[in-house]
Structure 1
Amino acid sequence: MTDREHLHRQGFLLLRQAVPADWLEHLRAVFDAGVKPSDQWPVPRGADWHHSQLDADAQVQAVCRLPALLAVVGELIGERFFLAQVEGRAPLAGGGQQKLHRDLSAQRPGDTVGAMVYLDDYSPANGATRIVPGSHRPAPEEAPFDFADESGAVQLSGSAGDILVFDVDLVHAGSLNVSGANRRSLLINYFAEPLYPSHLETAALRGITMDASERFEPGDFGFFGV
């Protein structure tokens, strides 16, 4: 199986140490400075998470444009796409537990890709993400996914600077931050170009301040392992 086939079959890729190490201190500082209480967002956010508005920062934007990241995003989306959103999230001590779920494509399978950039080391102790590999494209004869069934879930672990890139139809969830240690991350969304009008309609409600007019072409950044 080629790396490309593996990516499409599994629905995700974990890019280890993709963010330059000397960027991390600045990114953490930007995250901390941008944290806003739930009631200061256009739509209130979950009270057991820190949410950070940081999409105007130049280095955050540079992370969103790392060639290795865009290469995987382009491979998954398969058509012209744009950077729609980036914000910071971190589960508070005793918070962060989510039920398994899908974020769901908008118009066709694969038209939306998420990326989670870890700014701190992550493990089951501080609420690392759970995923169900291969759950993004169920076969027609499969029974509907039971989101209460955790038997197929894998909890990730790794180091600051890793990036999880995933098809938003992949079943996933945040986890309980048992230790209370920092687990700051950037959550990025990329959309296929046809989703731009609907993106503009909801951007203000999502607290987006950045310009999303730049376009990227699949294949412009190569692809890992090929």
Structure 2
Amino acid sequence: MSGDQLRQEFEQSGFVVVGDFLAEDEIAHALADAEAAADALGEDPHRPDRDFWGVHSRRLSGEALDRPGLNAIVRKPELHRIAQRLLCEDCVYDGIGMQVYLPHRGHKQSWHTDTDPDDLPFSCLTMVIYVQDQTPATGMTRLVPGSHRTPIEKRFPDHADLPGQFAAELPAGSLCAFQSTTWHSATENRSDRPRFALVARFCRPEYQRDRVPQYYGRMRHARGARRSGRPMFDHPTDEGSYPWPETYDPAELPFL
């Protein structure tokens, strides 16, 4: 797919898939590092707030991911070239993280967006790199094509299948890049091994956390507006998180 085709698909659907992004040796080294990082996780703490938002996974960042096989992916010139094609030539690397979906723990993620459409142009590009085959058993990323143009404004089932969704059943070495306002979720890991989703983010130069720290962490979930680190309210407010006061009629969802 040419750069122009990649950008066109990205703007139309809100996401794009790039196959064979990693070579076999890169996959092997990154998977070994991911498994080592997961082995050092320790206990899985219970967090009631994550129960409310339907988010059940472990997130790693910082020193835990400072490993040769993972660093090699971040340094790949092609990663940055894809970000430039999709976002802008002067886009800024915004860091790396990894979601770990442990087996037999009910690990999955509810439908949500990573940023609030009201914050544009301070949205970011999320690039998920898969170092394992993504299957119904391991769990998969799901996205709704075109949903980046429609903010979540009402409640709907956290983990339900949505009309027109795309389930990223992809081979190891694939990359899925999506706009932070695209509706997405992750299905449950029902296998016997952890599933890893390595996430690199890029942003426009005008959005950098040290410039707009109040922005980062505004998300829309299937249950409500989530403001990381802010108190929970029972009514709509800009001061913190709150549940949506209304519920979508199922007939509304196909028109995303």
For the aligned pair, the TM-score class normalised by the smaller chain equals 0.7 to 0.9
The match for 1:28 is 31
Aligned residue identity for 1:21: E
Q: CA deviation at 1:38?
A: 6.3
Give the 3 Å change call, closer, same or farther, for CA 11–68 of structure 1 in structure 2: farther
Larger Rg: 2
Q: Deviations over 1:110-159 (max 9, x none)?
A: 73011111111111211111110111123xxx994765362232211111
| Aligned mate of 1:121, from 133, 143, 151 | 133
Residue 137 to residue 200, structure 1, CA distance change in 2 (3 Å) = closer
| Contact kept? 1:55, 1:85, Cα under 8 Å | no
Counterpart CA distance in 1 for 2:199 and 2:145 is: 19
User: 1:98 and 1:48, CA in 2 relative to 1: closer, same or farther beyond 3 A?
Assistant: closer
Structure 1 residue 72 and structure 2 residue 75: aligned? no
1:104 is the counterpart of 2:115: yes
> Displacement, 1:195?
2.5
Query: Alignment length, in residue pairs?
Result: 197
Partner in structure 1 of residue 102 of structure 2: 92
Distance in 2 between the 1:85 and 1:61 partners?
11
With a CA cutoff of 8 Å and minimum separation of 6, indicate the structure with the bigger relative contact order.
1
Distance 1:173 1:197, change over 3 A: closer
Deviation at 1:10, TM superposition (A): 0.8
- The answer on whether the counterparts of 1:101 and 1:147 sit within 8 Å (CA) in structure 2 is no
**In the aligned structure 2, how far is the partner of 1:127 from the partner of 1:105?**
26
Instruction: Provide the TM-score with structure 2 as the length reference.
Output: 0.65
TM-score by length of 1: 0.72
Verify: 1:49 aligned to 2:57, yes or no: yes
Amino acid at match of 1:173: S
Residue 191 of structure 1 pairs with residue 203 of structure 2: yes
Q: Which amino acid aligns with 1:155?
A: A
Residue of structure 2 in register with 1:180 after alignment: 192
Q: Distance in 2 between matches of 1:113 and 1:143?
A: 18
Shift of 1:199: 7.3
Structure 1 pair 173/143, CA: closer, same or farther in 2 (3 Å)?
Answer: closer
Provide the rounded CA distance (Å) in 2 between the counterparts of 1:96 and 1:160. 20
Aligned mates of 1:184, 1:143 — CA distance in 2 = 26
RMSD of aligned alpha carbons: 3.3
Residues 199 and 136 of structure 1: CA distance in aligned 2, closer, same or farther (over 3 Å): same
SS at match of 1:28: helix
Question: Where does the alignment leave 5 or more consecutive residues of structure 1 unmatched?
Answer: 203-226
Aligned equivalent of 2:8: 5
